[in-house]
Chains A and B, each alone.
Chain A
Amino acid sequence: MKTFWERLGHAAIRMLEDSADTIVFAGRVFVRIFQRKTYSSAMREVLVNQIYFTSVQILPVFIIVSVFFGSLLIGIVFTILKDLGLTEFIGHVLMGLIVTELSPFLTVLLITLRSASAINTEMAVMKVNREMKTLETFRIDIIDYLLAPRVLNGIISIVLLSSLFSIVLLISGILFAKLIFGMNQDVYMNMLLDSTRFSDIIIMFFKCAIYGFFITLIPIRFGLRASHELTSIPVAVSRGMVNVFAAILIIEVLSLLTKLY
């Protein structure tokens, strides 16, 4: 009978092997994204459809959530800054915390809930229905046709939606700056521009791209692990989603560490 430490060790080794597999798999998909032959007419069609499902269909809900949540967030942050007498740091807080940290994080949470779960289920259902075998039989590369467009869509959608979220937040900031601080629009804009660093924007886009890559890749990977039984679908989906949330937290922590050093 295995001792507690043996079981723990086995679990740790399995987790490490699993992570290594995911990284190797990510590398294969990443390389394909830059290969010209990946972009067949079929792949481009899937890419356009995926962008439509992820970025366009969600827009009304996304804008409403951005306006409500963004206004609430800006209102709270501005009130705290006023109470602490830190009005001059509005720009730094807006750019450093809200635009580069909270916008990508909230966007990725919304997209994970809506699209990553859908991708995970879609892959698992295709596996159960033996549709993957169909693609293989007709010599259609699964990475080119299924994975690359979804991963690319993840990157594009998170970057665009996160930018939209930031824009909505900054616009609602104009209103709150006037209400709370009696600040003129030009002063607000100047404070923002003074606090904007090009490197922060690049880091934000880079982080969004990494989020987009992993929140689509991990659900695909776990969806493909489903067996040919229907009962494997919920197992594959729940495992995939837990791993996606773990990946989001890891990326967030790594990005904070990057900022510190």
Chain B
Amino acid sequence: MREFPLQAAPVWVDVPLISNQEVYMNIALIKKYHDNMPRQEAWRLAVDCLGKIGLEHIAYKRNPVLTSEERFGVMLLRAAMVRAAMILIVKPFELIPHLNDIQMVTSMLKTIDELYVSCHIYDYQWMQEKYGDL
């Protein structure tokens, strides 16, 4: 994060969603603030991106009612909104505790691969078996 401070985009339990904003607004916020993207355009982009990972139905929900997978998806899209995003997923199994392997995360990343430059996943050594061949 120190090396690429403008591109670093964390997906981490310590960087939660803004609770008084709907999902689409959380995602759109990055574009509206950094790129000064007009509100409607940023909202449309957010809803389109949610559609890509099959989560458009949660666009108007707020953080407390989301499932772990939904919350992870939203945090991932929010991170991908950073310009030339270098996504850093920190301890994904802390975000989705009941997940048995990394399959769901990698497939989500593949679906939105045009939205980011690179992605790094950080976790404890003892979680290695959950990552398989990755």
Contacts and interface: CB of A to CB of B under 8 A. Distances in A.
Given A41-B39, A41-B42, A45-B39, A139 B19 contact: no
Interface stretch (B5-13, B45-53, B112-120): B5-13
A131 B18 contact: yes
Interface in A33-73: 40-45
A49 to B, nearest CB: 10
A129 B19 contact: yes
Contacts of A144: 33
The interface residues of chain A, by DSSP majority, are classed as helix
B16 A41 contact: no
A198 interface: no
A14 interface: no
A239 interface: no
Interface string A168-201: 0000000000000000000000000000000000
B5 A134 contact: no
Q: Which of B16, B32, B38 has the most chain A CB atoms closer than 10 A to its own CB? A: B32
Contacts of B33: 40-43, 138, 140, 144-145
B102 interface: no
Interface in A130-170: 130-131, 133-135, 137-140, 144-145
A210 to B, nearest CB: 28
A134 B18 contact: yes
Contacts of B20: 122, 126
B14 A133 contact: yes
Given A41-B39, A139-B5, A139-B6, A134 B16 contact: yes
A134 B27 CA distance: 12
Interface in A65-117: none
B39 A131 contact: no
A41 B6 contact: no
A116 B14 CA distance: 28
Q: Which of B9, B33, B42 has the most chain A CB atoms closer than 10 A to its own CB? A: B33
B38 A137 contact: no
A183 to B, nearest CB: 51
In order of increasing CB-CB distance, the 10 nearest A-B pairs are A42-B32, A42-B33, A41-B32, A134-B15, A137-B15, A41-B36, A140-B33, A40-B33, A40-B36, A131-B18
Given A40-B33, A42-B33, A145-B33, 14 more contacts: A40-B34, A42-B29, A43-B33, A45-B39, A122-B20, A126-B18, A129-B16, A135-B18, A137-B15, A138-B9, A138-B30, A138-B78, A139-B5, A139-B6
14 contacts: A40-B33, A41-B33, A45-B39, A125-B19, A126-B18, A130-B14, A131-B16, A131-B19, A134-B16, A138-B9, A138-B29, A138-B33, A140-B29, A145-B33
